[in-house]
Structure 1
Amino acid sequence: MRVSSRAGFGSAAVALAVLGAVGISGATPASAAPAGWEVLSGISLSDSVAVKTVELHCPTGKVVSGGEAWLTASPGAVGRVGLERYAPSADGKTWTVVMRETGATNYTGDWQISARAFCVTTPSGYEVVAADKTGTNDYHRMQITAQCSGTKKLLGSGAMVYNTDGAFILDRVEAGFNDPTEIPFYTIARARTLDQGKVAHSQEDLRAYAICANKPAALERVRGLSDMVSPSMQNVPVACPAGKEPYSVGAGIHVSSIHENNRAQVLISGMRSSNAWAHEDPDGYVEDWRLSATLICG
């Protein structure tokens, strides 16, 4: 739907702790199901800098299983800021979120991002698997999967675009579509060139991450999906069952197959363990689209 204004964030866009000059907060709920489950929270400065990063480091003896990211209390920036990195480090010690302005001209207002990392006691068989796709984009998009080795299962998903000069943005970072009764074992990552952004060049780079381990007890996937419609904003509620906590959060934007190769006109604004949400860019998107949200819980 083509509109000139955007909806607010509601309760989803609430700042947590402050990163950088103000520090990082951590909390360990006693009732958390995953062993050693701990949440680290961070928030960027609120200013007009075009690229913002939040980096969170798990404490000694723990590794990251996944995380969250969202545009915080910045209603004027929705549809103008996209996700560039949502990923673990190769050793699993760090969770990094990068979001950047995407318009043909930079957004002049202040905006900020929040992130959370879920850290757990290092599970048996823990590994971070990365897979890269480089080269010419496939009609404005690239997609790649990263798969767990052997019989290991997916705890969390990550992805990043690089060497793109802001021309590409992530529009899907999510557990794979194997049988819904099974635990996923791979990540799907996808990026698209921007409709309102920098001019895309011929060489693009996309990396997918699968955060894997031998299957922990009570692991399960929870997925929510919106209707295929054309609003300026969509929100998908999702939650782990009672007594369980999230290992990770993923989300994806989906368009009809006939428009699959379109440039990105819908941007992910947030992925949390309670919901995911996305906004059309300032010009709107005339076609139907839907949003998925996926949790891995334990």
Structure 2
Amino acid sequence: MQARANRITRAALATGMLLGVAAAGQLALAAPATAVTGLTRQTATGTAGSAAKTLNKSCPAGSVALGGGGSVSGATGHIGMDFMIPLSGGTGWSITGREDASGTGASWSLGTTVLCAPAPAGYAIVSGSSAWSSPSKNWHTVSCPLGQVALGVGGAVNGSAVSELLLQDLRIDGSSVTVGISEHESGFDANWQVQAKAICADQPAGYERLLDDSSYDSAATKSVSVTCTAGRKVHGVGAEIVGGEGQVRLTAAHANSTTQVTVSASEDDTGTTGNWKVRAFAVCAN
């Protein structure tokens, strides 16, 4: 009996030692989070006019887009930023603005901002699209590869030649992103589709996902900013309109500095008496 007990003890000790060695090996293989180096904020401003327009901003050679956004100036309530997406291969950022179905003779322009850096570990852009359908509102979520986080989000709508489908949600939720679009209050008869893009990477050092909300009321315009913790910089931008479905348009969702994200929105030209608010997301890191 004693010999058998000794054998069991020796076996247990050996198993424990093997598990300890394996755990130590895993710890040795797990690289610590590193800071993203060479991060820059690039901006561009387009020419004013009264026609649909696209504005691109490329990252410097050797770097890729971690996140981006845009803004529209002029013709308040008539212009939809219907495409806010990374360029192919993550080489920069693209914004497309279009007038609503009623149009406007007012002059307006676009601005775009992209946050660029040499590709961090695990860098990837994950894309997905919803089915073609005609709901009053639709969302599409895409997830990053296992163990990674979403730094930035891009979104677009397919199916309309003018801004009758409002890009209202560009949400970043840790390891996934969600893009939400609403039909304009007047409705839209044809089928349409949501595009979503998640910009993913291994979690960088000092990673944090911050958000803040504007007031929730029926004011015609709203704006809110969220600032990174001291010592951190903006890596990605997100935005959301809560309430006001089909009657409120984003007018800005961008990094207005290296440490702050600002999101603004405005009611359309017919307005709404309902309450709504805007939410700004900032993904920050060292």
The alignment's TM-score, normalised by the length of structure 2, stands at: 0.82
- Report the equivalent of 1:34: 36
Partner of residue 59, structure 1: 60
Quick one: distance in 1 between partners of 2:61 and 2:79? 33
Match of residue 272 from structure 1: 254
The residue identity in structure 2 corresponding to 1:133 is S
Q: Which amino acid aligns with 2:86?
A: P
Residue by residue over 1:190-239, the C-alpha shift from the partner in whole angstroms, topping out at 9 and shown as x without a partner, is 1111126xx62331011111000111111111101123211101111211
Q: Does 1:156 align with 2:146?
A: no
* Residue 295 of structure 1, aligned match among 252, 263, 282: 282
Residue 227 (structure 1) aligned with residue 215 (structure 2) = yes
Contact 2:138–2:182 at 8 Å: present in 1 too? yes
Shift of 1:242: 2.0
Q: Which runs of 5+ in 2 are unaligned?
A: 1-34
8 Å CA contact retained: 2:134, 2:188: no
2:111 maps to which of 91, 111, 114? 114
d(CA) in 1 for partners of 2:249, 2:215: 17
CA offsets 1:37-84 (integer angstroms, 9 cap, x no match): 1122111111111x1211111222211001121113x2xx11111111
Following superposition, the deviation at residue 100 of structure 1 comes to 1.2
Correspondence list, 1:1-298, <5 A: 34-49=36-51, 51-72=52-73, 74=74, 77-102=75-100, 104-138=101-135, 140-166=136-162, 167-176=164-173, 184-195=174-185, 200-255=188-243, 262=245, 264-273=246-255, 274=260, 275-298=262-285
- Percent identity (aligned): 25
Hey, what's the Cα distance between the residues in 2 that align with 1:224 and 1:163?
Answer: 32
- Return the alpha-carbon distance in structure 2 between the equivalents of residues 162 and 94 of structure 1: 21
Residue 12 (structure 2) aligns with: none
Tell me if structure 2 keeps the 8 A contact 1:164–1:201.
no
Question: Which one has a bigger Cα radius of gyration?
Answer: 2
CA contact (8 A) 2:41 2:113 kept: yes
Q: Is the 8 A contact 2:221 2:265 kept in 1?
A: yes
In 1, Cα distance between equivalents of 2:134 and 2:213: 27
Q: Which amino acid aligns with 1:267?
A: R
Deviation at 1:34, TM superposition (A): 3.3
Deviation at 1:90, TM superposition (A): 4.0
Preserved contact between residue 239 and residue 295 of structure 1 (Cα < 8 Å): yes
The whole-number CA distance in structure 1 between the counterparts of 2:181 and 2:69 is 18
What letter corresponds to residue 268 of structure 1 in structure 2? L
Q: Which residue of 2 aligns with 1:27?
A: none
Separation in structure 1 between the aligned mates of residue 215 and residue 42 of structure 2, nearest angstrom: 33
Asked whether the equivalents of residues 34 and 245 of structure 1 are also in contact (C-alpha less than 8 Å), the reply is no
Q: CA deviation at 1:161?
A: 0.8
For residues 152 and 137 of structure 1, what CA distance do their matches in structure 2 show?
33
Which structure: greater helix fraction? 2
Q: Is the 8 A contact 2:159 2:190 kept in 1?
A: no
Aligned residues: 245
Structure 2 counterpart of 1:9: none
